[in-house]
Amino acid sequence: MIKKTLYPKTKRVQFKNRAVITEKLDGSNIGFFKVNGELVIAQRNNIFLIDELEENKGMLYKGLLGWIEEHGQDLKERLIEGSGFFGKWIGMGKLKYPDLDKKVYMFAKANYQKGEIKNLYYDHELFKYPFENQEFPDYIGIVPVIEEKESFPDIETLNDNYDSYKVKVNRNVEGFIIAQNNNVNKYVRMKNGKLQNHHE
């Protein structure tokens, strides 16, 4: 086990540009990579090899050990050496998702080289490339896309989108992630299960 944070903290909305808006799922960041033929799992500040999970099971996200036992070998075989992805592990947050049927929802693809993350991309069209033959596993979801816009939305537009989307999915929504020019910003409306205004 290595103590290290791979995924950087997401900054809040601060500037405007062309954007793709996705739902910000209430979950925990997780990453999966194939390195030297082994499946590497990155959660919070810990990085594990698949063979180290049993001895560290007290530190794992709830349900992760069983999910890895079911899908880990297949995922290792499907990932291209040095490639992987980041996603949200669903089920440990305050919000529930009756309309989502996966435990992991991918939000970025990346490469792992010499202990560092390279080529981190949020473009959904690239999400298939970490996988052999560009075949996406059916046990991994992709964060829901809300809307694509020609310009970066202002807070009033995001507020309107939030209200409309919440009605559409008929459940609570934590907020949005806005990706543009391979940068991401977050728009947060629900914190610790309570609705609030977004603050820059």
**pLDDT, tens digit (0-9, with 9 covering 90-100), for 63-121:** 999 999 999 999 999 999 999 999 999 977 889 899 999 999 999 999 998 888 899 99
pLDDT in tens, 112-132: 988 888 999 999 999 999 999
Q: What is the pTM of this model?
A: 0.87
Residue 94 and residue 48 share a domain: yes
Residue 129 and residue 74 share a domain: yes
Distance CA 47, CA 6 (A): 9
Q: Residue 37 sits in which domain range?
A: 27-143
Q: Is residue 92 part of a domain?
A: yes
Flag whether pLDDT at 16 surpasses 90: no
Q: Is residue 1 part of a domain?
A: no
Q: Is residue 174 part of a domain?
A: yes
Q: How confident is the model at residue 2 (pLDDT cuts 50, 70, 90)?
A: low
> How many independent structural domains does the chain possess?
2
Contact 120, 8 (CB under 8 A): no
Where does residue 156 rank: exposed (0-12), middle (13-18), buried (19+ CB within 10 A)? exposed
Q: What is the pLDDT at residue 92? A: 79
User: What backbone phi and psi angles, to 5 degrees, belong to 122?
Assistant: -105, 0
Residue 151 and residue 122 share a domain: no
Flag whether pLDDT at 139 surpasses 90: yes
Residue 49 and residue 62 share a domain: yes
Q: What is the pLDDT at residue 54? A: 86
Flag whether pLDDT at 13 surpasses 70: no
For 16, the token pair is: 């405007």
Q: Is residue 80 part of a domain?
A: yes
